[in-house]
């Protein structure tokens, strides 16, 4: 016999992470053995960390039902494909493409991108990394990957290389490290599209794209041709960086790509000798930009030598010091990005559901 009271209570339960009711699609299974109620619930985001609040809330909510003496909650992550720019078809093997961009170089975009990808993976998602910075590919070094891609069994695509569990593709795998890329815009765009579409991506929840810096023809063309679920803008508090970050925001706005949030890098500096904290690049700049554009500041990171050292060594912060405060900041950024994506409208043209047990 179905437990209608439990079903109704569960469907109306407000997810503490999204602020919205779970609804009927979330319930995967429900059974009761005397006073022991067992439920399986699907969520549209990784649940390694975020799931605990849902589990505790559901135990309390369902435990208050008459005749229920114990509640077991099993969460599964069902990350779906979400809407992209009009007229663009999804890419096989990828549910959601997230672009990480900046208006100018030198603000820590690539470092943020790789740690975001690793943090999403740590939260329980299947994640890939596309190094789209043709002129200065850095992800092979940051992920400690060496070698060349192999041809996939289909004979038509390349296998991504693996770095700390991430499926990764970069032009850096295809050229000599000292070889300069003296290509014009159309050649760069064509090369990036080939890297994206000729790679055999294997069932990714998220593909993080480390975009080239700037807002010129190459970046605009990529934003128009690549089906992007959302973008993350990386900046520093410095006025010059913010001027270019605003241009990046407008570029994505122009092609219909929503901004998932802004990350302020090098927000403050703490002296390793005396502990004095100083805003050497300015203060509050990213907050003001977010207020102007109606978006969210999803994280702020300090200017910290450990981030540079860890990334240069091929073990980014999320891998090198997973329990440290810096890694936890990256994971909070990843959680916000995942929740923002989950609340976007679904892409009805993609139908390859997957359920993976992430938390019990």
Known binding-site residues equal 103-110
Tokens of 313: 């060594």
The binding site for ATP comprises 103-110
Where does residue 323 rank: exposed (0-12), middle (13-18), buried (19+ CB within 10 A)? exposed
CA–CA distances in Å: residue 127 to residues 37, 93, 164, 269, 323: 34, 11, 11, 31, 20
Q: Where are the alpha helices (DSSP H) in the chain?
A: 4-12, 51-63, 109-122, 139-142, 185-197, 217-225, 239-254, 285-293, 305-312, 317-320, 325-342
**What is the per-residue DSSP string for 258-286?**
PEEEEEE-S--EE-TTT--EE-TT-SSHH
Which long-range contacts link 190-195 to residues 24+ away (Cβ below 8 Å)? 191/134, 192/132, 192/134, 192/222, 193/225, 193/226, 195/130, 195/132, 195/169, 195/170, 195/171
* Closest CA relative to residue 205, chosen from 23, 73, 46: 46
Please report, for residues 81, 93, 109, the alpha-carbon distance to residue 206 in angstroms, rounded to integers and kept in the order given: 9, 10, 17
State how far the Cα of 172 lies from the Cα of 164, in Å rounded to an integer.
Answer: 17
Q: Are 213 and 183 in contact (CB under 8 A)?
A: no
């Amino acid at each position: 016999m179905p437990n209608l009271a439990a079903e109704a209570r569960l469907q109306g339960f407000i997810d503490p992470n999204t602020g919205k009711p779970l609804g009927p699609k979330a319930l995967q299974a429900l059974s009761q053995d005397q006073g022991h109620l067992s439920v399986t619930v699907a969520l549209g985001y990784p649940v390694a960390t975020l799931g605990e609040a849902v589990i505790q809330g559901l135990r309390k909510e369902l435990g208050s039902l008459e005749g229920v003496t114990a509640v077991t909650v099993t969460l599964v992550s069902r990350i779906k494909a979400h809407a992209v720019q009009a007229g663009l078809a999804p890419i096989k093997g990828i549910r959601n493409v997230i672009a990480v961009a900046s208006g100018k170089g030198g603000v820590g975009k690539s470092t943020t991108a790789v740690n975001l990808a690793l943090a999403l993976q740590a939260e329980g998602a299947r994640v890939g990394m596309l190094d789209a910075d043709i002129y200065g590919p850095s992800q092979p070094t940051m992920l400690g990957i060496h070698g060349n891609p192999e041809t996939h069994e289909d004979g038509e695509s390349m296998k991504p290389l693996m770095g700390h569990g991430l499926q990764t593709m970069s032009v850096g795998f295809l050229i000599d490290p000292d070889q300069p890329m003296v290509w014009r815009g159309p050649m760069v765009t064509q090369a990036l599209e080939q890297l994206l579409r000729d790679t055999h991506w294997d069932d990714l929840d998220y593909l993080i794209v480390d975009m080239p810096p700037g807002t010129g023809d190459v970046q605009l063309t990529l934003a128009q041709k690549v089906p992007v679920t959302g973008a993350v803008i990386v900046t520093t508090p410095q006025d010059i960086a913010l001027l270019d970050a605003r241009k990046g925001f407008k570029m994505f706005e122009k092609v219909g790509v929503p901004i998932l949030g802004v990350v302020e890098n090098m927000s403050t500096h703490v002296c390793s000798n005396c502990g004095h904290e100083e805003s050497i690049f300015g203060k509050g700049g990213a907050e003001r930009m977010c207020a102007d554009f109606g978006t969210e500041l999803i994280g702020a990171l300090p200017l910290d030598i450990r981030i540079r050292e860890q990334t240069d060594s091929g073990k980014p912060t999320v891998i090198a010091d997973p329990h440290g405060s810096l890694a936890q900041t990256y994971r909070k950024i990843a959680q916000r990005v995942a929740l923002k994506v989950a609340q976007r409208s679904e892409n009805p043209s993609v139908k390859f559901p997957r359920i993976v047990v992430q938390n019990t």
